[in-house]
Amino acid sequence: MLNDDPLANVLYIDLSKRSYRVAQRQDLFEKYVGGAGVAVQLLEEECPQGCDPYGPHNPIIFAVGPLTGLFPLASKTVAMFKSPHTGNLGESHCGGRSAVALRMAGYGAIVINGTSDIPVYVAIHDGRVHFRDASVLWGMGSRFTVGRIIRENEPGSGLRTIMRIGRAGEQLVSYASVTTETYRHFGRLGLGAVFGCKKLKAVQISGKRSLPVADQKQYRTTYDEIYKTAVSSSAMKKYHDLGTPQNVLPLNDLGALPTRNLKEVRFEGVSNVSGETLAEQFLGRRLACSHCPVACIHVAALREPYEDEPYFYKTSMISYDYEPIYALATMLGVSDNRGFLELMDEVETVGVDAMSTGVILAWATEAMERGLISEKETLDLELSWGNHRAYVEAVRRIVSQPNDFYRALARGVKHAADQYGGADFALSFGGNEMPGYHTGPGAHVGALIGARHGHLDNAGYSLDQKAAATELPTPEKLVAALMAEEEWRQVLSSLVVCFFARGIYTQEIVSETLRSAGFELSKEDMEKIGMMIHRNKYRFKIREGFSLDDVRLPKRIFETESPIGMLDKAYFQDALSHFKNMLLASES
């Protein structure tokens, strides 16, 4: 039975027993609002301590928030799981239609447990869960065909989300992604591998419920205010016009664009892979997540002639963003923009995280350059800067894993460097591959202490840019600023609002939107909730073996100049001990 307030409904699915039930969990949503706050609590409840991330007891949790379906840009779903990539907190956010579909289906969260004995996909329609045989979809090479078959066999056209994995998830690559609506992803930390080990090819969700609002008049006023700002602000216009690739040239000018495994910070071929050039030469369409007027998703149309039919073209549609450009173009020295798009297309087809893949291939290229590995390991593949064809083939082999070397690459850069050497230039933070910013200490300390070890945890790069214009904060002040941002982001990711709209969703606007959704939260309440969720995440990490005493800083970040000069290791150690003290103080 579904409750009147769909947000309180948590759908529990057991793949082993092919059963499901719904529980009303007002307790969770009252205390943690939704999204990340609810998901980490469900993870704590459902994931046994020390469980094998590839085993049946690792749960997959999806959660949305009170603003989902009600307000513009509240378009994201939070996924939580134990990460097969880092062995602790797995958290990834995705838009597309996932969030609105989940809420319209009548749920605030979904928990998927167990393992199927045969490949399945789960179809959730209007309060019923169907387990469909997906044997025919398992192993399929085309990412489009899987979606098409599910679309043709399931209802909910125009409203539904289809989350699915590619071959990398099936082959348990530890940084495999989950794709929704062809162009959006739960990219980081290996949700695709958790799907794969459960033999779960896809999850399809649709529903047509309506949502209550507490005060119609206030709802309209607040809605209009957010909508107007979203369509008129210059920041949002930039996201629409060029998207995040607008950052490629400014970061290059700044000397902060990691190039050739961060041996350099400016790329001589940058103009070929800038947001401007990609838009001029390839932009095929822009797309938006459900309930978003910004449409920041940029999709390139790559037209390639067939070898034996010169006037017959294949057109591939490939979404691109700043992070994949950094990871698959500049980090690999790929200046041929068609080559970059071909590599991106392969990454999308097999379903791996673009950032992790680029950083791993950059390490492998440098390891080959230095003689740590040879063609014996790569199986005659010449990994060299700019050689996009070799990189496309390497991605295929990371999935097929023909030998120990590719099996090591399939587990991430830290694992590969532990096996073959080269830890000094293996750009891993807390076991996750580096984001695309060498702006200063904020970016790297932020990635090191962030709960997900990613750039979206606390956006340390923006603190660096402020510091470049003024002065470097003390390590203590840097950590305090990173934590303030990360804690506030816990509130936004519990609502769940797209981080691109963080300038619109100020504390005042958040209070107003929550009032419309039936929540009364003061600024102080929000601050407390943000801190509590952050600490809950860290408690889970530590419970699963993460230790700040074991984190390793790649030597490379101290060897390459940043816009604020060479980075100082002692500054990092100071920052780390301030962070440890901060965590300890909040636990006591």
Residues that bind ligand SF4 (CB under 6 A): 73, 75, 95, 239, 288-289, 292, 294-297, 498, 500
Give 188 or 198: the residue with its C-beta nearer to ligand SF4.
188
Whole-number minimum distance, CB 289 to ligand SF4, in Å? 3
Q: Which is nearer to ligand SF4, 162 or 289 (CB)?
A: 289
CB of 299 to ligand SF4, least distance (A): 12
Min. distance of Cβ 244 from ligand SF4 in angstroms?
Answer: 9
Report the candidate in 273, 372, 358 with the shortest Cα–Cα distance to residue 320. 273
Work out how close the CB of 311 gets to ligand SF4 at its nearest, in angstroms, rounded to a whole number: 36
Give the residue with the Cβ less far from ligand SF4, 99 or 381. Answer: 99
Give the C-alpha distances (Å, rounded to integers) separating 367 from 213, 286, 407: 57, 38, 16
- The answer to whether 360 and 347 have CB atoms below 8 angstroms apart is no
Report how far residue 199's alpha carbon sits from residue 194's, in angstroms, rounded to the nearest whole number.
9
Name the token pair of 305.
Answer: 């002639």
**What whole-number distance in Å separates Cα of residue 54 and Cα of residue 295?**
36
CB of residue 295 to ligand SF4, shortest distance in Å: 6
Which residue number, 239 or 505, has a Cβ lying nearer to ligand SF4?
A: 239
Q: Which is nearer to ligand SF4, 296 or 481 (CB)?
A: 296
Q: Which is nearer to ligand SF4, 183 or 461 (CB)?
A: 183
| The two structure tokens encoding residue 368 | 């080959």
Minimum Å gap between C-beta 228 and ligand SF4 is 16
Please report how close the Cβ of residue 291 comes to ligand SF4 at its closest, in angstroms: 8
Nearest Cα residue to 318 out of 284, 358, 280, 281? 284
What's at 541, amino acid-wise? K
**Of 98 and 259, which CB lies nearer to ligand SF4 in the complex structure?**
98
Closest separation between CB of residue 477 and ligand SF4, Å? 30
Could you tell me the smallest distance in angstroms from the CB atom of residue 235 to ligand SF4?
10
Q: What is the DSSP string of 64-113?
A: --TTTTTSTT---EEEEEE-TTTSSEEEEEE-TTHHHHHHHTT-SEEEEE
CB of 229 to ligand SF4, least distance (A): 13
CB of 297: closest distance to ligand SF4 in angstroms?
Answer: 5
Q: Decide whether 243 or 430 has the Cβ nearer to ligand SF4.
A: 243
Query: In this structure, what DSSP letter does residue 359 have?
Result: H
Find where tokens 């979809």 sit.
137
DSSP symbol at 434 = P
Q: What is the C-alpha to C-alpha distance for residues 398 and 193, in angstroms, rounded to an integer?
A: 13
Instruction: List b or e across 535-571, with b for residues whose CB sees 16 or more CB atoms inside 10 angstroms.
Output: bbbbebbeebebebeebebbebbeebebbbeebeeee
Report the candidate in 80, 104, 88 with the shortest Cα–Cα distance to residue 28.
80
- Residue 61 vs 498, nearer CB to ligand SF4: 498
Which residue's CB is nearer to ligand SF4, number 2 or number 509? Answer: 509
Q: 118 or 231, CB closer to ligand SF4?
A: 231
Contacts of residue 96, defined as CB under 8 A and 6 or more positions apart, other chains included, come to 161, 180, 181, 183, 184, 289, 290
Interatomic CA distance for residues 159 and 173, integer angstroms: 31
Helix axes 234-241, 216-232, angle to 10 degrees: 60
The C-alpha atoms of residue 190 and residue 389 are separated, in whole angstroms, by 25
Distance, CA of 445 to CA of 478 (rounded, Å): 9
